Amino acid sequence: MASFFEKRDPWGHNLSLWVVVFMIFITPVLAGVLREIRQENNVENWLPPDDPQSKVLAWHRKSFGIEDRILVSWEGSSLTDLRAERLKTLLMGTADEKGIRHGGSPYIQEVVTPQDAIQRMVEYRIEPEEAQERLKGVLLGTGMLKIRLTEAGKKRQEQTTQELIDKAKSELGLVLTVKPAFKEWVEMVDESEEAETIKEPIDEDEEQVDFKELVASIPAHDFQVSWSRMQPDAELTNQLKQIALSLTRPSILPEPLAASSEEKTDSTPLVQPTLIEDCFFATGTPISISIALSNPGDADHGAAVDAVKAAAFKAGIPAESLHIGGRPAAGAALNRMVKKSSWDTDYPAWQFHKRSVTLFSGLIGIALAFFMLRSIRLSCIVLLVSYFTTFVAVSVVPLTGGTMNMVLVVMPTLLTVLTLSGSIHVANYWKHAAHVNIKTAVVEAVEMARAPCMMASLTTAIGLASLITSPLSPVRDFGLYSAIGCLISLLMVLFGLPSLLQLWPAKPPKASEIDTRNWQKLGNALSRHQMMVSLSCLMLFAVSCYGFKWFRTETKVIKYFPDSSRVIQDYLFLEENLSGITPVDTVIRFDKNAQDNLNFLERIELVRKIQSRIEEHPEISGSISLADFRPVSEPLPEGASTFQKLRHAKRVNETERRVRESLESGTAKSFLHLADREVVLEQETANGARSVPVNEGDELWRITSQVAIMTDLNYGDLTRDLNQVTQSVLRDHAGTTHIVTGTIPLFLRTQEAVLESLIKSFGLAFAVIAVVMMILLRSPLAGLITMLPNLMPIGVVFGLLCWMNISIDIGTMITASVALGIAVDGTLHLLTWFKIGIEEGKTKQEAVAAALGHCGPAMWQTSAAVAISLAMLYPADLLLVSRFGILMCALVTAALVADIIFLPALLAGPLGSLIETSLKKEAAADVPLLQEGKATMPHLQHAIKRAQSEKTFET
The predicted-structure confidence for 126-143, as pLDDT tens digits, reads as follows 999 999 999 999 999 998
Residue among 955, 898, 899 at smallest CA distance from 444: 955
Fold of 579-630+649-743: Alpha-Beta Plaits (3.30.70)
Angle between helices 844-871 and 879-897 (to 10 degrees): 170
pLDDT, residue 435, reads: 76
**199 φ, ψ (degrees, to nearest 5):** -125, 140
Query: Which residues pair with residue 94 across a beta bridge?
Result: 102
188 band by pLDDT with thresholds 50, 70 and 90: low
pLDDT, residue 256, reads: 54
pLDDT, residue 207, reads: 65
Q: Does the pLDDT of residue 511 top 80, yes or no?
A: no
Cis amide linkage into residue 286, ω under 30° from 0:
yes
Contacts of 488 by beta carbon, 8 Å cutoff, 6+ apart: 389, 392, 393, 396, 415
- Number of H-type helices and E-type strands within the chain: 35, 17
Q: Across all residues in the chain, what is the average pLDDT?
A: 83
Domain ranges of the chain: 4-35+356-551+750-954, 145-187+205-252+270-280, 579-630+649-743
Q: Does the pLDDT of residue 621 top 60, yes or no?
A: yes
Q: Does the pLDDT of residue 753 top 70, yes or no?
A: yes
CA-to-CA distance for 377 and 637, rounded, in angstroms? 96
User: 225-239, 382-396, 629-643, 941-955: lowest mean pLDDT where?
Assistant: 941-955
Share of the chain above pLDDT 90, in %: 29
871 band by pLDDT with thresholds 50, 70 and 90: confident
CA-to-CA distance for 96 and 756, rounded, in angstroms? 56
Residue 865 and residue 372 in contact, taking contact as beta carbons nearer than 8 Å: yes
**Exposure of 341 by Cβ count < 10 A (0-12 exposed, 13-18 middle, 19+ buried)?**
buried
Residue among 493, 545, 536, 589 at smallest CA distance from 858: 493
SS (H, E, C) 224-293: EEECCCCCCCCHHHHHHHHHHHCCECCCECCHHHHHCHHHCCCCCCCECCECEEEEECCCCCCEEEEEEE
pLDDT, residue 239, reads: 93
pLDDT, residue 514, reads: 61
CA-to-CA distance for 697 and 695, rounded, in angstroms? 6
CA-to-CA distance for 82 and 104, rounded, in angstroms? 18
pLDDT, residue 954, reads: 43
CA-to-CA distance for 629 and 120, rounded, in angstroms? 7
Give the three-class secondary structure for 144. coil
Contacts of 11 by beta carbon, 8 Å cutoff, 6+ apart: none
Instruction: Tell me how far CA of residue 742 lies from CA of 56, 433, 863, in angstroms.
Output: 9, 63, 45
Per-residue burial over 297-330, b if 16 or more Cβ lie within 10 Å, else e, is bbebbbebbebbeebbbbbbbeeeebbbbbbbbb
pLDDT, residue 903, reads: 92
CA-to-CA distance for 470 and 756, rounded, in angstroms? 7
338 band by pLDDT with thresholds 50, 70 and 90: confident
For residue range 670-724, what is the model confidence (pLDDT) as tens digits?
Answer: 899 999 889 998 876 656 677 889 999 999 999 999 988 887 777 778 888 999 9
191 band by pLDDT with thresholds 50, 70 and 90: very low
Q: Stretch 243-257: mean pLDDT, rounded?
A: 71
322 band by pLDDT with thresholds 50, 70 and 90: very high
User: 410-424, 770-784, 916-930: lowest mean pLDDT where?
Assistant: 916-930
941 band by pLDDT with thresholds 50, 70 and 90: very low
Choose from 339-348, 540-549, 877-886 the range with maximum mean pLDDT.
540-549
Q: Is the pTM of this model over 0.85?
A: no
Residue 681 and residue 691 in contact, taking contact as beta carbons nearer than 8 Å: yes
Q: What is the four-CA torsion angle of 820, 823, 825, 826, rounded to 10 degrees? A: -160
Q: Does the pLDDT of residue 202 top 60, yes or no?
A: no
Please give the radius of gyration of the chain, using alpha carbons only, rounded to the nearest integer.
36
Type of residue numbered 644: Q
Residue 421 and residue 825 in contact, taking contact as beta carbons nearer than 8 Å: yes
Give the three-class secondary structure for 326. coil
Instruction: Tell me how far CA of residue 670 lies from CA of 391, 666, 780, in angstroms.
Output: 48, 8, 62
Residue 149 and residue 157 in contact, taking contact as beta carbons nearer than 8 Å: yes
For residue range 89-125, what is the model confidence (pLDDT) as tens digits?
Answer: 999 988 777 767 778 899 999 999 999 999 999 988 8
